[in-house]
């Protein structure tokens, strides 16, 4: 990639050396350290990298689903023959993005398209520097209140960034979730095209609104009404006072059949019907696939390429990723906020009885220090299944209490993750499946344990772009 100055060339070289040294020591910091070092030397590197991409940048942000959506979109774009650079490791702050570009600068071939997962609070600061060709907004849920604040403050940051960057501009296509009112209303800040996505299957609706519903009120002050709720506050909404309402999406899902490890679904992409089996479980996976399909459509990729790629999709790391260990299948589900955990629980219920669970709750900076959110998740959904549950993580005792209050007495409460894994495996029948549900830092730790035991590469080793 071309650099504008000697300082930038030096920054890239030094960043690459720092990353290589860190990886030789076997530390995952290689996903962010090169960018941290390079950005200190040349603060304008991110903009330089973005301008060098002939096909532009796609940004993907939202509370839940960023890594999976970006992963699916990257696979679609590559299947379409495009040279893509992507932060597959999920390191989505500025230093992680710059690290990705620093690593890519040493690879063979010219990258033409960037697919960048970006932290929702970081996006307003980076949006004008990246000038995305396509900007994907997935959803907005309560998450890490000690860091992000209320959802309204995040939404205001997004709106301000769009208004400042896109006033009078037609360069950026917004890809918006029509079913999330906080996201759908961003369309008013667009000076260019808007592509929307959403679920149009009445059978996918919940019987009522969940406790973890965040967008309750319209901008006019009236309470939203819903004809269908799919998760949290996401569904078919309207304001009875001002008339604002969910519009028919450009990319939609119909006839959704949720199964234990896959989903049958009919897609409509700009009027073109498609049928596929998505090798991912859960309704939230359908939303991620819809967002990836809508972004690919905005890039001009044909519907048959989109659906063929989605049908062959592999999970992103730590998101329904499977491992074979001790004669059992181990599947990992990241859950880091009430809505996300509710959707994982919903998928696990679809998997049926004989459920063996290892659940880990950490309270690190990346997880959010306040863990009271576990009481906003509907853990009681699992009670009829009488699952075998091992609780672990830094806040294992809090997690054990939450399950006990739901009528599920944990088989074991063990803060040490490795001992908890051994105990959970011992409680899983031979040939059976252990479901691991960790928060973010617990997921990184647990995945390293599984990688070491199964011989799978560490996430920071097998996602180099």
CATH, residue 40: 3.40.1190.10
The answer to whether 158 and 176 are in contact (CB under 8 A) is no
Residue 336 sits in the same domain as residue 388: yes
* Distances from the Cα of 215 to the Cα of 169, 183, 334, angstroms: 29, 10, 23
Residue in 343, 358, 135 with CA at minimum distance from that of residue 258: 343
User: Residue 353 in 3-state DSSP?
Assistant: coil
426 plus 291 within the same structural domain: no
Predicted pLDDT of residue 464:
36
H runs (alpha helix) in 220-352: 283-298, 303-311, 338-351
Judgement on whether residues 323 and 305 belong to the same structural domain of the protein: no
Same domain membership, residue 13 and residue 66: yes
Q: How crowded is residue 4: how many other Cβ atoms within 10 Å of its Cβ?
A: 14
Which strand ranges, in their side-by-side order, compose the sheet holding 412-413?
Answer: 319-325, 328-333, 433-438, 356-360, 388-392, 412-413
Q: State the Cα torsion 79-80-84-87 to the nearest 10°.
A: -50
How far is 97 from 277, CA to CA, in rounded Å?
32
End-to-end CA, the chain:
14
- Tell me how far apart the alpha carbons of residues 411 and 52 are, in angstroms, rounded to a whole number: 55
Residue 142 CA to residue 155 CA, distance in Å, equals 11
d(CA 463, CA 452): 16
Q: Which helix or strand (DSSP H or E) is residue 405 part of?
A: helix 396-405
HSE toward the beta carbon, residue 359, CA cutoff 13 A: 30
Is residue 160 in a domain? Answer: yes
Look at residues 161, 167, 175 and name the one whose alpha carbon lies nearest to residue 123. 161
Q: Same domain for 65 and 12?
A: yes
Residue-level pLDDT, tens digit, the chain, 465 residues: 555 688 888 888 888 888 777 767 665 545 688 888 888 898 889 999 999 999 999 999 999 999 999 999 999 999 999 999 999 877 889 988 998 888 887 665 567 999 999 999 999 999 999 999 999 999 999 876 555 557 788 999 999 999 987 554 568 999 999 999 999 999 999 889 999 999 999 999 988 766 667 778 898 999 999 999 999 999 999 999 999 999 999 999 999 999 989 999 999 999 999 999 999 999 999 999 999 999 999 999 999 999 999 999 989 888 999 999 999 999 999 999 999 999 999 999 987 778 999 999 999 988 888 999 999 999 999 999 999 999 999 999 999 999 999 999 999 999 999 999 999 999 999 999 999 999 999 999 999 999 999 998 775 554 433
- Whether 460 maps to a domain, the answer reads no
Q: Is 463 a domain residue? A: no
In this predicted structure, what is the pLDDT of residue 374?
Answer: 95
Residues 98 and 190 in one domain: yes
> 3-state DSSP call for residue 270?
coil
Token pair belonging to 33: 């350290």
Together in a domain, 272 and 372 = no
Q: State the CATH number of the domain containing residue 326.
A: 3.90.190.20
Distance from the Cα of residue 413 to its chain's centroid: 28
Residue 233 · residue 212 · CB < 8 Å: no
Please state, in angstroms and rounded to a whole number, the distance separating the CA atoms of residues 111 and 93.
20
In-domain check, residue 402: yes
How many C-beta atoms surround the C-beta of residue 51 within 10 A?
16
Q: Is 170 helix (H, G, I), strand (E, B) or coil?
A: coil
Enter the DSSP assignment of 31.
G
Q: For residue 152, what are its two tokens? A: 């309204």
The boundaries of the domain holding residue 59 are: 6-311
Let me know if residue 464 belongs to a domain: no
- DSSP H or E run through 39: helix 33-41
Report if residue 271 sits inside a domain: yes
For every residue of 119-159, which 3-state class applies, written as one string? CCCCHHHHHHHHCCCEEEECCCCCCCHHHHCCHHHHHHHHH
Q: Do both 271 and 342 map to the same domain?
A: no
At residue 94, φ and ψ (nearest 5 deg) are -55, -45
Nearest to 360 by CA among 390, 331, 392, 330: 392
Answer with the one of 258, 279, 311 that is the final residue of a domain. Answer: 311
How far apart CA 379 and CA 10 sit, in angstroms, is: 52
Same domain, 28 and 135: yes
- 185 and 219: one domain? yes
219, 96: one domain: yes
- Output DSSP code: residue 89: T
Last residue of a domain, one of 311, 342, 371: 311
Examine the fold and report which residue of 271, 291, 311 is the final residue of a domain before the chain moves on. 311
Per the structure, how many domains does the chain have?
Answer: 2
Q: Does 462 reside within a domain?
A: no
Residue 92 covered by a domain? yes
Specify which residues 251 forms β-bridges with. 197, 269
Strand order in the sheet with 251-258: 84-86, 113-117, 57-61, 134-137, 173-177, 194-199, 251-258, 263-269, 272-278
pLDDT at 88: 84
Strand-strand pairing, 194-199 and 225-231: unpaired
Q: By CB neighbour count within 10 A (0-12 exposed, 13-18 middle, 19+ buried), where does 362 fall?
A: buried
Buried-exposed string 439-460: b where 16+ CB fall within 10 A, e elsewhere = bbbbbbbbbbebbeeeebebbb
Q: Is 305 in the same domain as 325?
A: no
């Amino acid at each position: 990639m071309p650099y504008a100055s000697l300082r930038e060339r030096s920054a890239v070289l030094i960043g690459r050396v720092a990353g290589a040294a860190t990886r030789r020591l076997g530390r995952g910091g290689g996903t962010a350290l090169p960018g941290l070092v390079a950005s200190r030397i040349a603060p304008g590197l991110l903009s330089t990298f973005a301008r060098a991409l002939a096909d532009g940048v796609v940004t993907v942000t939202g509370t839940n689903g960023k890594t999976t959506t970006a992963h699916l979109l990257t696979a679609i774009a590559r299947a379409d023959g495009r040279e893509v650079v992507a932060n597959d490791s999920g390191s989505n702050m500025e230093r992680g993005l710059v690290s990705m570009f620093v690593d890519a600068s040493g690879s063979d071939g010219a990258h033409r398209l960037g697919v960048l997962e970006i932290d929702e609070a970081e996006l307003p600061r980076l949006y004008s520097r990246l000038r995305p060709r396509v900007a994907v907004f997935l959803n907005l849920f309560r998450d890490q209140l000690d860091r992000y604040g209320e959802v309204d403050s995040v939404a205001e940051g997004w709106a301000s960034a769009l208004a400042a960057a896109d006033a009078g501009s037609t360069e950026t296509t917004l890809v918006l979730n029509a079913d999330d009112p906080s996201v759908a209303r961003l369309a008013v800040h667009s000076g260019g095209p808007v592509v929307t996505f959403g679920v149009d299957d009445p059978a996918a609706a919940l019987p009522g609104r969940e406790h973890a519903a965040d967008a309750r009120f319209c901008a006019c002050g009236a309470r939203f009404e819903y004809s269908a709720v799919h998760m949290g506050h996401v569904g078919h909404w309207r304001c009875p006072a001002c008339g604002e309402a969910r519009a028919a999406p450009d990319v939609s899902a119909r006839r959704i059949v949720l199964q234990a490890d896959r989903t049958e679904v009919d897609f409509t992409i700009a009027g073109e019907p498609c049928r596929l089996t998505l090798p991912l479980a859960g309704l939230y996976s359908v939303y991620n696939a819809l967002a990836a399909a809508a972004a690919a459509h905005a890039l001009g990729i044909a519907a048959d390429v989109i659906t063929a790629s989605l049908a062959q999709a592999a999970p992103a790391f730590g998101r329904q990723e499977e491992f074979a260990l001790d004669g059992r299948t181990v599947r990992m589900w990241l859950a880091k906020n009430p809505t996300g955990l509710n959707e994982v629980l919903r998928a696990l219920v679809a998997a049926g009885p004989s459920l063996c669970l290892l659940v880990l709750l950490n309270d690190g900076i990346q997880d959010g220090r306040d863990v009271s959110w576990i009481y906003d998740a509907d853990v009681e959904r699992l009670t009829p299944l009488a699952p075998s549950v091992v609780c672990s993580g830094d806040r294992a005792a809090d997690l054990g209490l939450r399950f006990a209050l739901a009528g599920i007495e944990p088989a074991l409460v063990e803060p040490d993750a490795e001992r908890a894994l051994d105990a959970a495996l011992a409680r899983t029948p031979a040939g059976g499946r252990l479901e691991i549900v960790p928060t973010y830092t617990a997921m990184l730790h647990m995945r390293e344990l599984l990688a070491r035991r199964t011989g799978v590469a560490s996430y920071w080793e097998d996602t180099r772009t």
